[in-house]
Structure 1
Amino acid sequence: MALSFQATLTQASWVGVRLMIGYRALDEGAGPAFLGLLASSFALPALVAALPAGRAADRRGGTVLVFAGLLIAAAGILSMLLVPGLTVLLLASMLVGFGHLLVIVGQQSFVAHVSRAGSRDGAFGTLTAAASVGQLIGPPAVTIIASLGANGNSARPDTTLGLLVCMGFSVLALPVYFRLRPIDRNLRRLRRTGTQEIQSAAAIFRTPGLWRSLLVSGAVLVTVDLMYAFVPVWATEQGISATAVGLLLALRAGISVVSRIGLTRLIARFGRKALLVVSISAAALGLLALPLVGLHGAVIVMIGLGLGLGIPQPITMAWVISLTDASRHGAALGLRMTVNRFAQITLPIAVGTFAGPLGVLGIFWVNAAVLAGALVIVAGSATGKSSIPPPTDGYS
């Protein structure tokens, strides 16, 4: 429960910062090109630092990385508050992105090391469900408080207040370290069996079957980014309000949270491959249908997308872990994040460039084709049907 509490707070802070930094850039006079660069800056640190961060988690423990990441993210937020200017804002966003990277890799590594082989799907399901709860509570909490200081101008919230709320979330998450660190230290002592060989990224990637799990993970995660980027375009064409868009996306996130409850039992009954095939198929069908429906049809689509995008993420995490040695779990998860971030940076640009001229239908259908490719990869894989003892969805 302690880690779930921490994951909720850190995700609430993260999504809140991503909202407030955009408004702050507009206050500084930023244009569309800078806003695009700002959005990419959060993901850039993972391209070079995710794998080293994973190795550090294997050596030092995931809790140390989380604690450092929270401090670094708080320093980035503080620099935004104290020093004006777009250049500082860009550098600070990279600092926040780097801190968030350490937090995510650290939390995932801790789960990988503390959970038993048969309960990892459920443990990762709990972690990602807690993160989704943070994504649900963060935006309204930050924007409501920021709007209180905006003197009635709801279009331009008080970003200083909003960023202070984000920092508060990060500070509240820090004490959890002292609860989890002794567990982490004991686990590392049990795992220590001598000097471990440090493998290169290429060597880890060549682990039999690992590339399949990484590509499927990247395809699913980038769909979430594409949805946030292009659902407003669909809504504009349909004459649907921004408030309705927010509620639809909140519905999608809420269904994702629910889909991760009891995931261990589902995998015990049906196996990872079956759940991946069904959930990714639901997401692909939802993307095919979305350009063709209105508001009421979109409700059904978002339920399908919530299931289709909620279930694969914890399963692919556990899939990665099942293929690698315990001493390299952190490195493998770091490599997974590197692939995810690379996909998040490149695929939206590619889809927007090549499918953009076809309009909303082309964008969502190309995204559906990406998920269809992930289905082909899953069909040819051996994800395994977890041999799970009496189910447990939680971890301390």
Structure 2
Amino acid sequence: MRPALAAMVACQVGLHACVQGVRLAAPLNVLRLGHSAWSVGLVMTMFALFPALLALPAGRLADRRGYHLPVRLAALCSLGGTLLAAALQNRFTLCAAAALCGAGAGFGMIAIQRSASRFARSDGERLRVFSWIALAPALAGLFGPMLAGFLIDRAGFSAAFLALALLPVATLLAAQAVPREAPRPAPMPGARKTSAWDLLRLASVRRLVFISWLVSVSWDVHGFALPLLGVERGLNASALGLVLASYAVASMTVRLLMPLVAARLSRRALLCGALLLTCAVFAAYPLFHSAWAMAACAGILGIGLGLVQPAILATLHDATPPERQGEALALRSMTLHASMAVMPLVFGAIGTGAGAAVLFWLMAGALGLGSLQARTIRFHREV
């Protein structure tokens, strides 16, 4: 299990570091070319729009063909996007590069998460597997932008995009270490066609998709509202950087430690406890004015959100029929990416009209509701 799991983590780091690097480089390149902030917004929308549109086909393909074909297609999408951006730098090619790299990361994530669960032989092992898998986006979020920023300053945008193109190539190579899975047999003629939306009839799947969406929105609210709250409190950029660094360090640390103790954790207690902890932090955040107090809040928030994602993924696999786990992950991915494209507009409207503190308190109430939903989830596969 260990070499294959390490290869999957490497594959996801490659795809996510690539998209995170392009997420930094593409908007900066748009601004360098003299385009407006609207063009930057258009490029950023492409990163979320295409993964949302392609999520269900990606999930079905992963269910039918296993790991290798979807990951190969994901890597080729990311490779094509970076090479296109390196060769032709204008607003339209940068939009296309964002769409291709976003689609590659989303496509690959579904296949990797689906296949990773196949290595687990118990609930504790499944939670441990998803703890390792959850490390990949955190590592990629550090490595990809650092690589892109360093090369942009020293060698220009084309060199940065070419270097980022090496990451999906590394994904293609690392994927060879993952055992091949036999394709699922084709359905019998006349068999009833199923829809991914049918999975929402399973109460546990429906609640888990809702909780996963809440967690994603809470990440976005923190990233969006923290600068607004910091300005209201008179904090400078360095202080806000300290707060965000505290969140990132805590989130990565808890994901590093979680695989070591996963077998001793109850998933119900973990899911409910992490949501309640996050709820309490969002409620308390606006009450503090110093950078150190807000950094402590951010660190506790990083612990809560770092714990909850592996628990959601492990429970989602448990609640879904084995032959449809890719579709369940696709529903989750589509919901998250659609939210990423729409919710910033909602946050902007609320933040402008009511202030950043109200955003934090609304999120605290929603997370409290999510913890109540988590208590009703069945932790065995529904039939």
**One fold, TM greater than 0.5?**
yes
* 2:277 alignment partner in structure 1: 282
Mapped pair 1:263 → 2:273: no
CA shift in 2, pair 1:42/1:208, >3 Å: same
- Does structure 2 retain, via aligned residues, the 8 Å contact 1:219–1:343? no
Give the unaligned 5+ runs of structure 2.
1-5
2:180 alignment partner, SS class: helix
CA shift in 2, pair 1:357/1:240, >3 Å: same
Structure 2 counterpart of 1:131, from 137, 140, 149? 137
Q: For 2:262 and 2:376, how far apart are their aligned partners in 1?
A: 18
- Does structure 2 retain, via aligned residues, the 8 Å contact 1:146–1:162? yes
Matches within 5 A, 1:126-275: 126-149=132-155, 158-180=156-178, 183-185=179-181, 188=182, 198-263=193-258, 266=261, 268-275=263-270
CA shift in 2, pair 1:94/1:193, >3 Å: closer
Give the deviation of 1:35 after TM superposition: 2.2
* 1:373 alignment partner in structure 2: 369
Mapped pair 1:301 → 2:301: no
CA shift in 2, pair 1:94/1:367, >3 Å: same
- Does structure 1 retain, via aligned residues, the 8 Å contact 2:229–2:356? yes
- Does structure 2 retain, via aligned residues, the 8 Å contact 1:61–1:106? yes
Q: For 1:161 and 1:230, how far apart are their aligned partners in 2?
A: 34
Structure 2 counterpart of 1:358, from 351, 354, 377? 354
- Amino acid in structure 2 at the alignment position of 1:347: M
Q: For 1:43 and 1:136, how far apart are their aligned partners in 2?
A: 20
Q: For 1:14 and 1:217, how far apart are their aligned partners in 2?
A: 21
Mapped pair 1:4 → 2:4: no
CA shift in 2, pair 1:242/1:146, >3 Å: farther
Give the deviation of 1:83 after TM superposition: 1.8
Farther off after superposition, 18-27 or 254-263: 254-263
Identity of aligned residues (%): 26
Farther off after superposition, 115-124 or 303-312: 115-124
Q: For 2:140 and 2:133, how far apart are their aligned partners in 1?
A: 11
Q: For 1:28 and 1:16, how far apart are their aligned partners in 2?
A: 18
Q: For 1:237 and 1:163, how far apart are their aligned partners in 2?
A: 37
- Does structure 2 retain, via aligned residues, the 8 Å contact 1:273–1:384? no
2:69 alignment partner, SS class: helix
- Amino acid in structure 2 at the alignment position of 1:93: A
Give the deviation of 1:242 after TM superposition: 3.2
Mapped pair 1:82 → 2:80: no
CA shift in 2, pair 1:207/1:384, >3 Å: closer
- Does structure 1 retain, via aligned residues, the 8 Å contact 2:15–2:104? no
1:78 alignment partner, SS class: helix
Q: For 2:211 and 2:145, how far apart are their aligned partners in 1?
A: 28
Give the deviation of 1:75 after TM superposition: 0.6
* 1:393 alignment partner in structure 2: none
Q: For 2:12 and 2:105, how far apart are their aligned partners in 1?
A: 11
CA shift in 2, pair 1:244/1:355, >3 Å: closer
Give the deviation of 1:243 after TM superposition: 4.2
Q: For 1:101 and 1:270, how far apart are their aligned partners in 2?
A: 29
* 1:337 alignment partner in structure 2: 333
Give the deviation of 1:382 after TM superposition: 2.7
Q: For 1:341 and 1:46, how far apart are their aligned partners in 2?
A: 7
Give the unaligned 5+ runs of structure 1.
150-157, 386-396
Root-mean-square deviation (CA), in Å?
2.4
Give the deviation of 1:102 after TM superposition: 1.2
- Amino acid in structure 1 at the alignment position of 2:46: S
* 2:68 alignment partner in structure 1: 63
Q: For 2:51 and 2:273, how far apart are their aligned partners in 1?
A: 30
Q: For 1:363 and 1:194, how far apart are their aligned partners in 2?
A: 48
Q: For 1:251 and 1:137, how far apart are their aligned partners in 2?
A: 17
C-alpha offsets along residues 218-277 of structure 1, whole Å, 9 cap, x if unaligned?
110122123223322233333434344344323322222222245366554441121122
Give the deviation of 1:114 after TM superposition: 3.0
Q: For 2:77 and 2:273, how far apart are their aligned partners in 1?
A: 39
Q: For 1:42 and 1:197, how far apart are their aligned partners in 2?
A: 35
User: Alignment length, in residue pairs?
Assistant: 372
1:252 alignment partner, SS class: helix
- Amino acid in structure 2 at the alignment position of 1:275: L
CA shift in 2, pair 1:257/1:199, >3 Å: farther
- Does structure 2 retain, via aligned residues, the 8 Å contact 1:64–1:106? no
- Does structure 2 retain, via aligned residues, the 8 Å contact 1:280–1:308? yes
- Amino acid in structure 1 at the alignment position of 2:230: A
* 1:26 alignment partner in structure 2: 31
Q: For 1:146 and 1:341, how far apart are their aligned partners in 2?
A: 27
